[in-house]
Structure 1
Amino acid sequence: MSKRTGGRWLVAVLTASAAFISGCTASVDADELPGVYRNDETGGEVLLDSDGTFSATDVSTDEFSGPADFSGRWEFLDNQASSDFVYLTIDDGGLGRTGGIQLYTRGEGTVYFQYEPDGPPTLVLTRVGAP
């Protein structure tokens, strides 16, 4: 195989892989995000209200802290380069010194917290109702 043919083959494989991967990621409509999301196992709950506010009850966002209640404002960020997420701007004192946290989206009806970028989700919540 010549160098030129090998380069074309590599470009074709990379293009096909990118198309396949992007097709696997479910697009999220920001207008469909408001609602109540719950983890039945832990009882943790996040309410994303249509006015851009949120409240979280009994939610643990990482492996190191216990469940907490916090609230603030939310904004959907459609990230073309990686995962879409909801940025939660936390009101003063909600999580100590933490001013904000990312709540990732997984298709319609599922959101999750993920402490380590390459690690598994630390808490997965499923939509149970509208606000």
Structure 2
Amino acid sequence: MTIKRTGRQWLAAVLAVSAVLTAGCARTVDTAALPGAYRNEKSGGQIRLARDGTFTATHLSISSGSDPADFHGRWEFVDSGVAGDFVYLTIEDDGLGNLAGVQLYTSGDRTLEFRTPDDPWSLKLTKVPVSKKLQPARP
């Protein structure tokens, strides 16, 4: 009986320490730093998140099966509280057909990423320095 109790106490202690360490390692997103221009150098796709909550995307693919498209609308940061924080893009004027919104994940400092669950595909966009102008998207 003592061994069983000690084992349970040890397990509870390990779980408590894991929870504290995980919470301490959670990356927070500086939402004030999110606005700006992001670009994928390989595809030429780019998105600009404006401080007023609007966005403009040029030549962006949002999944493995989609062709690059231009679209615009409104954006907002969604803090999930645990993991997987993202920028939600509300697409206006049927920019992507029937799709009304997409998630753009925060994947590190100065990096946003379109990802599809259960699919290895992703498109990383890196923040472009203010001094560097966005290039016109490739056709």
Q: Size of the alignment, in residue pairs?
A: 130
Cα deviation for residue 121 of structure 1 reads 5.3
Distance 1:121 1:48 in 2: 23
2:69 partner amino acid: A
- TM-score, normalised on structure 2? 0.83
Distance 2:129 2:55 in 1: 14
Aligned-pair identity in percent equals 52
What stretches of structure 1 move > 6 A for 4+ residues in a row? none
Residues 72/33 of structure 1: CA separation in 2 closer, same or farther (3 Å cut): same
> Could you say what the CA RMSD is over the residues aligned between the two structures, in angstroms?
2.0
Is 2:126 aligned against 1:99? no
- TM-score, normalised on structure 1? 0.88
Cα deviation for residue 26 of structure 1 reads 2.2
Cα deviation for residue 119 of structure 1 reads 4.2
Q: Which residue of 1 aligns with 2:136?
A: none
Q: Which residue of 2 aligns with 1:89?
A: 90
Unaligned runs of 5+ residues in structure 1 are: none
Is the Cα contact below 8 Å between 1:112 and 1:121 reproduced in 2? no
Distance 1:18 1:101 in 2: 31
Q: Which residue of 1 aligns with 2:56?
A: 55
Is the Cα contact below 8 Å between 1:77 and 1:85 reproduced in 2? yes
Q: The residue matched to 2:63 in structure 1 has which SS?
A: coil
Q: Deviations over 1:60-111 (max 9, x none)?
A: 1111111111110000111112211110000021111110011111232011
Residues 22/46 of structure 1: CA separation in 2 closer, same or farther (3 Å cut): farther
